[in-house]
Amino acid sequence: MEDEKHIKIKTELEDRPKQVTNLEVWLYVVVNTAKSIIDNTSKNNLDIVMKFANCNNTSQIQYEFDIIQGKFGREKFSQRYSPTYLYLCSLVANFPNQELSDEERELIRQYSTVNTYLLYEL
């Protein structure tokens, strides 16, 4: 199932929409992009993406994403200037604040197990 979700979202983003409006898609982009940043620089810290599951709203997730970018998205990050990376980060930043349900936090947990990254496929 996770492969189907990844392919569906990848297909949706291939035309590079300026923003996503579906919270489930946005959560996937956030978790997948954050995990790809960490995986690229410090594989021992991949469990950090689980912090997203503790957030109550999308603003808190954006804040945690910014922390990951600051910690792992610097000099050692090989995709730092990649147009795809910049695009994915813009999708993360341009999403309105919404409260998260328990179901959405469970989706975050599920998305954190995906090891195929949009960063390298778009």
What are 99's strand-pairing partners? Answer: 57
Tokens found for residue 22: 């579906």
- Residue 19 CB coordination number (10 Å): 11
Tokens found for residue 38: 């960490």
Kindly report whether the global pTM for this prediction surpasses the value 0.85. Answer: yes
Q: Per-residue confidence of the chain (122 residues) as pLDDT tens digits? A: 457 888 899 999 999 999 999 999 999 999 999 999 998 888 888 888 999 999 999 999 999 999 999 888 777 787 887 899 999 999 999 999 999 999 999 999 999 999 899 999 88
Between CA 61 and CA 54 the distance in angstroms is 9
